[in-house]
Each structure stands twice: as C-alpha cells, then as structure tokens.
Chain A
C-alpha cells in the first residue's frame, strides 16, 4: 500500500533555531495535514493544505509556523524560532477526495533543548 514518508525520524535542535520537517505525501492525494502529539497527550490538529494554500489552521499554528509544498511532491512544516514547548511528535497526513481517509506518516520526533 502507498505510504506517507516523513524525514527525519528524530530532530534535536536548540531553542530559537529554525527547523524544517519534511513529508512526502501519497502521490495522487490532494489534501495535506500536519498534526502534533506532545508526549502522553492527544493528537492535535495544526494545519490543512489544499490547492497550494492553507485551508484550515488551529490556534497552535501561529506566526512561528509555516507550510509549503515547494515542488509538487514534498510538503514541509517550518518552525521559525523553536521553543521548548514545541517538543513533540509531528505527524504528516494526506488524503484524496471524497471521504478524506487520512494516511499518516510515522512521525518526526522533535526535541527542543
């Protein structure tokens, strides 16, 4: 079965640094998402992306966050100046049209020191 690929699997960064988390969604999908999960907590929606623009975003997705689909295959999440509380597992997901079944990647564990 096709899958969503995320890189890196682990990322360690210093507070205040910029990080870019990368995702390769399933090739014929149209909708792209980022979620995060702080250790021991529930999965939280960050942002959805369709037709080269953000379609929805949560309160968490502030000016420090941005998303981009630079080349038609990758989907990136950038955190401009990381904070300690950004430490979490970040999941990328994609879906096709219709029922919007979500396919999740295996996540990037971000640790901000």
Chain B
C-alpha cells in the first residue's frame, strides 16, 4: 500500500508559521491525503484532508503539489498546544497506514 515519508522531527518558535512536509510518491488517483496529530497520551486527532486542491480550515492549511506526490501541512501561528506528533496518511478503501510521523516541538 502507498507509503508516506516525513521528517522525524521539527522545531518551531511560538507564534511563527510551521510547514510540515510529507512525500507520497506512490499515491494513487483515489487516495485522499489526510493529516492527523497525536498529543501526548491521547488518540490521533483529525487535522485536515484533501484530494487535489489546497484546503484551509480553522486548524491549518494543506498545500498539495500538482502531481500529488507531496503535500505540506501549514500551521499559520504555532502555539505551545500544537506540540504533537503529526501524521500524514493516505486513505482509500479500507486500509490506512500511519508512517512514523513528525514530532513538532514548539519553543516559547
């Protein structure tokens, strides 16, 4: 099944934008690109998803490359509460595999 690749960790300063990249070069035409995050001692939480076009919601923005082989989650102003592991996954029929995710550290 299609796999995603993310950097192991990233750091940001509070109130600054954060760009979290994800590569998914084997994406198929019907895969949705989803982002979830996991705060310490909690279950994964939905952040945003898209198919082909860029998306915005109250939590974040998702920029999807034209060939769909990569995407970037954008947190416009990081807060301390955004410190979490961020997972980029591809969702289609049935199976969804979480990669290793990116651990985001936000410094005050």
Contacts and interface: CB of A to CB of B under 8 A. Distances in A.
Contact of B98 (A45, A55, A105): A45
A45 B34 contact: no
Given A43-B87, A99-B32, A99-B49, A104 B97 contact: no
A104 B98 contact: no
Contacts of B36: 102, 104
Interface stretch (B12-20, B39-47, B58-66, B67-75): B39-47
A45 B96 contact: yes
Nearest to B101: A42
Interface residues of A, number: 24
Interface in A61-113: 91, 93, 95, 99-107
A55 B45 contact: no
B11 interface: no
16 contacts: A33-B96, A42-B101, A43-B98, A48-B95, A50-B94, A55-B95, A56-B93, A91-B44, A95-B91, A99-B34, A100-B34, A101-B34, A103-B46, A104-B43, A104-B45, A105-B43
Given A56-B93, A56-B95, A99-B34, 14 more contacts: A31-B94, A35-B98, A42-B87, A43-B44, A43-B98, A44-B98, A48-B95, A50-B94, A55-B93, A55-B94, A101-B46, A101-B49, A102-B34, A104-B45
